[in-house]
Each structure stands twice: as structure tokens, then as C-alpha cells.
Chain A
Amino acid sequence: MGLIRKVKDLISLMNENSLTEIEIEEEGTKIRLKKNNLDSLQTSIQLPSIKAASLQEGSNKYLPSKQDKESSEIVAPMVGTFYSSAPGAEPYVNIGDTVDEETVVCIIEAMKIMNEVKAETEGKITEVMVENGAAVEFGQPLFRIEASGGGD
């Protein structure tokens, strides 16, 4: 009980004095508390960083299919907001759809202009990598696409 009390007091002490780490030794007992400094990194901007392909939650809804050498990505040709469909309409493409170079796969909005994005490649959509309404940067992967094998 005494020890828990001590730890509680130490936590108060840390918070009151904005400490991230504290160590105390008394009568052979050493207690060390260390804060995880995650709140100092939190920002309100939900933006993909350089390394991450996408930060959107729920993107695991779209399970990636088996990766093989034939798969490539359709990337964003501009920075803006990604929309998977025209307002109120069905998505341009779904997983499993076959596309060709001229197929419109999504819209990226920039400066109030809705820009249609074409696949510019042939294949089958195997993954949708961003969520509807997400901010995307130039070159960010949007769809995973597998080269179609054989003819129809």
C-alpha cells in the first residue's frame, strides 16, 4: 500500500512539474517512472508522412491480395483530396475490377476543381489504399493493381 501511495505521489509530482522521468531511492527501494512522450508529437494535421503510404484508419477493410512480382501501384498525379466516386454515385472502381489506361479510377480535388484520374495502366484492382475524402500527396499510392494474365 505504501509503495502504491509513493508511486501515486511521484506521478503527481511529475505532472505538476512537467517532468518526463523521475527516479527515487529510499531504504533500498528504487522507483523509476518514465512518461511516454507521445502527446508532444501529436498534431491535428492528419497527413501522410514521407514514409507511410497511408495513415487512414479502416484501410484494412480492403485486404491486400497476395503480393507478387506483377503488382504495381496507381499513384496520385497531384496533391489534393481523394474521392473514390463522384458525389452520391457508386465508386469508380472496386477490388476485382479490371481497368485499362483510359479507365477513370478516382477523383482528386485541388483548388475546387475535380480532376479525374485515369489508371494509365492495365490490370486488376487488388487494393484500394486510401479512404474516400483523404488528403493525398503527389506520388502517393492510391490503388494496387495486378497485371491481367491472359486474354478474356
Chain B
Amino acid sequence: MFSRILVANRGEIALRIIRACKELGIETVAICSKADENALYLQYADAHVCIGPAEASESYLNIPSIISAAEITDIEAIHPGYGFLAEDSHFAEVCESSNIVFIGPSSEVMKKMGDKTKARDIAIENKIPVIPGSDSAIENQQHAIKVAHEIGYPVLIKASFGGGGRGMRVAHNDISLVNSLAIAQREAKAAFKNASIYIEKYIEPSRHIEVQIIADKYGNMVHLGERDCTIQRRHQKLLEEAPSPNITSQLRDEICKASLKIAKAVNYTNVGTVEFLVDGEGKHYFIEMNTRLQVEHPVTEMITGIDLVKEQLKIAHGERLNLRQKKIKSEGSAIECRINAEDPNNGFRPYAGKITMCSVPGGRGVRVDSHIYSGYEVPPYYDSLLGKLIVHQKTREDSIACMKRALSEYRIEGVGTTIPIHMSIIADPRFVNGDINTNFVENLINEKE
């Protein structure tokens, strides 16, 4: 096993990775920006290095600084976490040429799946259904209008190198399409360094269901079942659960099979997630593949009993997958609530500020993945995730009751959080019945007003 690795991330995921390493006897080097110098996760690592000023572009996204930190600490591998450089194939390439093991798939695979239009092509080649859309990136206005007329409005404009629900725009007619194109391209360029966009039919109401896969470097691959990430706000996931409520075993089978197929088609290694949209008739469509660990990985860990971060480390180190598809069992129901520093009463505007008091829930079946503490100053430079509250019980009904209890115990003062909106979501009878779609949160908020 590796003797020492560097964690190229921050916050709760850095802590998550450090914990897995500790249990495997791997020494950890954490990195931080000037804004994170008092972060708790640093104290859990064996050593830490400040690599730059607060701005992410100068620190967590700064490849030379991270590699320099890797050199002076003599590490063997880098875990990129999620976000930041986790899906940056150039970063993976630099690691590879610096003789540092990148804990994830190869840069080649990341490049393939990183271009969402290419990923669509691969799905089509493998007879996996995709949402009707453009055959390639959009070349110009005429092309966009032609595609929109072929597939029918409303349409969704997406960044080819985007992902994570960011930089997407809906257009309902030719005029809004033309207006949105330029904006979408600008946003894509700013967020993903590439202005390339494509178009898909906008399907709503829909469900967002994804499948976790793991593969070693020897061609062995398994899936760990699906996660339901339908509860979103502005295309950002808020609450996730496993297994997915109210889906047929046929749908489950089909998306798990399709996930393995597409992952095998690109010789995928390490952990990854294949995302699907399921429409009102239960038909599934491939959206994209995320070539990294996901935020919501804990719900899969709870129901399967498998530590995904440890699997990543083992696979990266060259070990054979010790999991057999037949032996993987899903037990019970797990739900995760993302606790963000946002003001749900003010358009969910991100909140920076000092956490004056923090008291986490506990008890049977409760897991908290969080880096915050009383007195912690939430920096304004990064995402607003304070932590994840996960519960696991025998039935979904029990999980909901447990989550309700745990949310009521979770006290965070000094900043606004998404705890209140989560309380509303899980109390809603439609959620309890598994009667959910991607407009659920928006509808809930509108009804309250």
C-alpha cells in the first residue's frame, strides 16, 4: 500500500480521504490556501502545506503549486477528491509524467468522458439510450435552431466540458434560444475554460438516478447499485438516497447493466458514476459519466458496507478488486442531506461567516461527514458545503424518521443553513411516498410562499 499520499482538496472531502488513509496506515499530507489555515481537516493529516492565497485559481486549482507541494513532501500518490482538479485530465497527465499516481482513472479516460458530447457518442455506439439532442457541439446559431426544431422545444443548452448541473440554460423558443446561446457560451468559457456547448431536449418532470461503478486495472468491474439524486435545487443536488424509491427492478437492472457497458467500453478504472435521467414514463437516458468520487458516495457505502475511498486507494495501488457482483448486497435505506451554508429564506444565497455554535447529531444509524466546528469561519471563496448528514436504517420509513430526528438535533448557529428546507422535504407526504421529480424543491418553496 502507499506509505504517503497528498490530498489535493479541502473541507469535508479532505477529511474523508484522510480518515480512510489513516485506517489503511497511509501517511497523509494535506494542503490549504491562506484562507484555510485554521481548518480542522489539516490537524487530522500527518503534515500540511500552505500552497497559495485564498483564491482557488491560485491554490486548489494551481497545478504547479500542488505538484511542488507533492515534491517537497515526497508523496507517492495524489487523491484529488471531487470538484477542483478531480476531473482535470491535464492534472492527471502532469501527475503521470511526474511519476505520481493519480488516484482515479487514467487521463485518457477522463478526456473521453470529460467531453460530454463524446460521452454521448460512446453511449449511442453502445446502444445506450441518450436524450434526443445535437449530434455534436453546436457550431452556430443556425445549427442550434435546426436541432431545436428537430427535437422540439423546450431544449436545454449544456456546456460540453461542464457537469455537476452547472452552466445549463433552458430555452422555450427560437428567440430565447438565440439569446441564451451567447450567454451559455460565455458562462461555459468562464467556468470550464471551454465555450463549447450542445443541446438536449429538456425533459420534465424527471428523476435523476445514477449508478456507482468500481473497476480495477485488470478488467474487473462491478456496480454498487443506484442512487436517487432527484431532490435538487437549480440543478444542484440537495438530498440523495439509496436505493432509489419506487423504481421497478427492471429499470434498476437496465441502468446498472448500461453503466457497466459504457464503463467497460472506455476501459474505465477506479470509481466512477454513470448518470441517467428517467422520464415520467420510466424510460431512462444516459446523461453523463463522472470520472471521480461523488459527494453523495456515503449513501452507497451505508447500504453496501463498502468503503469507496479505501477501494480507490487499493485500486490505484494496483490491487485486484476484491468484490464479486453476486456477493454485493444492498441492505436497508440510506439518505443524505447536504448541509450548506446558505440562506434558504433569501434565495439560497451563499453565506460566509463565523459558526458561533455547532453541535452534531448522533445515535444509531447516524453519520456526519463534516469539517466544521464551533468558532469556524466559513470562507467565502469556495463551495458552501458545511457537511453531510447521512442516516441508514432498515426501511425507508425508518430512515426518514431517523433523518427527521437527526436534523432536529443538528445545531449550527452564526450562519444560515439548509437544515430547515431539509426538514420540509422529508416531512412532505409526496417525498415520503417517493413521489418525487426534479421540480420538487422549487414547487415546495413556491407552495410555502
> Which of B47-55, B158-166, B172-180, B225-233 has 4 or more CB atoms under 8 Å from chain A?
B47-55
Q: B72–A43 contact, CB under 8 A?
A: no
Question: Beta-carbon contacts of B11-50 to A below 8 Å, as 1s and 0s?
Answer: 0000000000000000101000010011000100011111
Chain A minimum-CB-distance residue to B27: A43
Q: B71–A49 contact, CB under 8 A?
A: no
Question: Beta-carbon contacts of A132-152 to B below 8 Å, as 1s and 0s?
Answer: 000101111000000000000
CA distance A137 to B72 in the complex (A): 9
Q: A111–B42 contact, CB under 8 A?
A: no
Q: Hey, which bits of chain B sit against chain A, CB under 8 A?
A: 4, 27, 29, 34, 37-38, 42, 46-53, 59, 64-65, 67-69, 71-74, 98
CB of B323 to closest CB in A, whole Å: 32
CA distance A78 to B67 in the complex (A): 12
What are 28 of the A-B contact pairs (CB < 8 Å)?
Answer: A43-B27, A45-B29, A45-B73, A47-B29, A47-B72, A47-B73, A49-B48, A50-B50, A79-B51, A79-B52, A79-B68, A79-B69, A80-B68, A80-B71, A81-B72, A110-B64, A110-B68, A111-B71, A135-B49, A137-B49, A137-B51, A137-B69, A138-B51, A138-B53, A138-B59, A139-B34, A139-B50, A139-B53
CA distance A78 to B50 in the complex (A): 9
Q: A43–B46 contact, CB under 8 A?
A: yes
**A50-B48, A140-B50 given; A79·B72 CB < 8 A:** yes
Chain A residues, Cβ within 8 Å of B34: 138-139
Chain B minimum-CB-distance residue to A135: B72
Q: B48 is contacted by which of A47, A80, A111, A140 (Cβ under 8 Å)?
A: A47
Question: Beta-carbon contacts of A71-100 to B below 8 Å, as 1s and 0s?
Answer: 000000011110000000000000000000
Extra pairs beyond A47-B47, A47-B73, A137-B50 (14, CB < 8 Å): A43-B46, A45-B47, A47-B48, A50-B37, A50-B38, A78-B52, A78-B68, A79-B50, A80-B68, A81-B71, A110-B64, A138-B52, A138-B59, A139-B34
Q: A45–B27 contact, CB under 8 A?
A: yes
CA distance A140 to B64 in the complex (A): 18
CA distance A78 to B71 in the complex (A): 13
Chain B minimum-CB-distance residue to A76: B50
Chain A minimum-CB-distance residue to B67: A111
Chain B residues, Cβ within 8 Å of A139: 34, 50, 53
Q: B49 is contacted by which of A79, A81, A111 (Cβ under 8 Å)?
A: A79
Please count the residue pairs between chain A and chain B whose beta carbons lie under 8 angstroms apart in the complex: 68
CB of B41 to closest CB in A, whole Å: 12
Report A26-62 residues with CB < 8 Å from chain B CB. Answer: 43, 45, 47, 49-50
Chain A residues, Cβ within 8 Å of B52: 78-79, 138
Q: B48–A138 contact, CB under 8 A?
A: no
Q: A43–B49 contact, CB under 8 A?
A: no
Chain B minimum-CB-distance residue to A42: B46
Chain B residues, Cβ within 8 Å of A138: 34, 49-53, 59, 65
**A110-B65, A110-B68, A111-B64 given; A43·B42 CB < 8 A:** no
CB of B52 to closest CB in A, whole Å: 5
Q: B72–A80 contact, CB under 8 A?
A: yes
Chain B residues, Cβ within 8 Å of A140: 50
Chain A minimum-CB-distance residue to B34: A139
**A45-B29, A45-B74, A78-B65 given; A50·B51 CB < 8 A:** no
Q: A45 is contacted by which of B42, B46, B68, B98 (Cβ under 8 Å)?
A: B46
Q: A50–B4 contact, CB under 8 A?
A: no
Report A103-149 residues with CB < 8 Å from chain B CB. Answer: 110-111, 135, 137-140
Chain B residues, Cβ within 8 Å of A135: 49, 72-73
Chain B residues, Cβ within 8 Å of A43: 27, 46-47
Most buried by B among A137, A139, A140: A137
Chain A residues, Cβ within 8 Å of B64: 110-111
Q: A50–B65 contact, CB under 8 A?
A: no
Q: A111–B68 contact, CB under 8 A?
A: yes
Chain B minimum-CB-distance residue to A110: B68
CA distance A79 to B68 in the complex (A): 6
Q: B73–A50 contact, CB under 8 A?
A: no
Chain A minimum-CB-distance residue to B42: A50
Most buried by A among B38, B68, B71: B68
Chain A residues, Cβ within 8 Å of B4: 45
